[in-house]
Amino acid sequence: MSVDHLPREQLRALQSRKLGAQIERLRSNPFYKARLANIASKGSPLDALKSIEPIDKHQLLTDQNAEPPYGQRLNVPKRDVAMTHTTAGTSGLGQEIHGLTWRDVEAAGYLSSFAFRWAGLRYGDPAAFNVGFSNSSGGNAMLRGIQAVGNTPYLIAQAGFEERLSILAKADPVGMYGTPSAINGLLRTARDIGFDIRRNLPSLKFLLTSAEPFPIEWALRMEEAWGARLFEDYGATQSASSICASCCERGAVVDGQRGHMHLFEWSFVFEILDPETREPVRDGEWGELFITTLDKEASPLLRFGTRDRVKYTGTRCGCGRELMCIESGSITRYDDMMKIKGQNVWPADMEKALFGLAEVREFSGEVAIGPKGRDELYLRVALTERGEALEKRAADDIRAAFKAQFNVSPVLTFVDVTELPQWTTPEKKSRRFVDTRQKGLAQ
Amino acid sequence: MSAVNETAWRRLDELRTICADLAADQDDAVRMFALRVDAMARALKDSVLVPPDLEKDHDSE
Convert the pLDDT of each residue in A265-281 to its tens digit. Answer: 999 999 999 998 999 99
- For the stretch B32-49, pLDDT in tens is 999 999 999 999 999 999
Q: Find the mean pLDDT for residues A350-374.
A: 86
| Residue type (1 letter), A293 | T
Whether A337-442 and A100-334 are alike in CATH topology: the answer is no
| pLDDT value of residue A428 | 52
| pLDDT value of residue A240 | 62
* Chain B residue with minimum CA distance to A265: B47
> By the 8 A CB rule, do B9 and B52 touch?
yes
Has residue B58 got a pLDDT over 60? no
Has residue A438 got a pLDDT over 60? yes
pTM of the model: 0.83
Sort residue A336 into left (φ over 0), alpha (ψ -120 to 50) or beta: alpha
User: Residue A88: enclosing H or E segment and its boundaries?
Assistant: none
User: Residue A166: enclosing H or E segment and its boundaries?
Assistant: helix A161-171
Q: Does A110 sit within 8 Å of B48, measured CB to CB? A: yes
Q: Which of A3, A13, A110 has its CB closest to that of B43?
A: A110
From the options 3.90.950.10, 3.90.1530.10, 3.20.20.540, 3.30.300.30, give the CATH code of A337-442: 3.30.300.30
Has residue A242 got a pLDDT over 50? yes
Q: What is the C-alpha to C-alpha distance for residues A230 and A34, in angstroms, rounded to an integer?
A: 45
Q: Find the mean pLDDT for residues A363-374.
A: 84
Has residue A436 got a pLDDT over 80? yes
Q: Find the mean pLDDT for residues B18-44.
A: 97
Q: Does A10 sit within 8 Å of B58, measured CB to CB? A: yes
Q: Find the mean pLDDT for residues B16-44.
A: 97
Q: Does A295 sit within 8 Å of B47, measured CB to CB? A: yes
Scanning B3-42 for CB atoms below 8 A from A yields: 5, 35-36, 39-40, 42
The separation between the first and the last C-alpha atoms of chain B, rounded to the nearest angstrom, is 17
CATH class of the domain defined by A100-334: alpha beta
| pLDDT value of residue A426 | 43
* Chain A residue with minimum CA distance to B50: A3
Q: Does B55 sit within 8 Å of A103, measured CB to CB? A: no
A289 — phi, psi (to 5°)?
-85, 125
- For the stretch A251-310, pLDDT in tens is 999 999 999 999 999 999 999 999 989 999 999 999 999 999 999 999 999 999 998 999
Residue A421 preceded by cis peptide, ω within 30: no
Contacts of A235 in chain B (CB under 8 A): none
| pLDDT value of residue A427 | 45
Across chain A, mean pLDDT equals 90
Q: Which of A13, A106, A295 has its CB closest to that of B54?
A: A13
> By the 8 A CB rule, do A293 and A266 touch?
no
Identify the sign of the CA torsion A150, A154, A156, A158: positive
Give the start-to-end residue ranges of the domains of chain A: 100-334, 337-442
| pLDDT value of residue B60 | 44
Q: Find the mean pLDDT for residues A338-365.
A: 85
The CA distance from B34 to the nearest CA of chain A, in Å, is 11
Q: What is the C-alpha to C-alpha distance for residues A332 and A310, in angstroms, rounded to an integer?
A: 7
| pLDDT value of residue A180 | 84
A423 — pLDDT class (breaks 50, 70, 90): low
| Cβ pairs A/B, distance under 8 A | 62
> By the 8 A CB rule, do A234 and A331 touch?
yes
Q: Does A109 sit within 8 Å of B48, measured CB to CB? A: no
Has residue B59 got a pLDDT over 50? no
| pLDDT value of residue A92 | 61
Give the start-to-end residue ranges of the domains of chain B: 3-60
- For the stretch A63-118, pLDDT in tens is 999 999 999 999 999 999 999 998 876 566 778 999 999 999 999 999 999 999 99
Scanning A396-415 for CB atoms below 8 A from B yields: none
Q: CB of A34 within 8 Å of any CB in chain B?
A: no
* Chain A residue with minimum CA distance to B32: A102
Q: Does A107 sit within 8 Å of B2, measured CB to CB? A: no
Contacts of B54 in chain A (CB under 8 A): 10, 13-14, 17
- For the stretch A194-208, pLDDT in tens is 999 999 999 999 999
Q: What is the C-alpha to C-alpha distance for residues A11 and A213, in angstroms, rounded to an integer?
A: 29
At residue A180's C-alpha, the angle toward residues A99 and A94, to 5°, is: 35
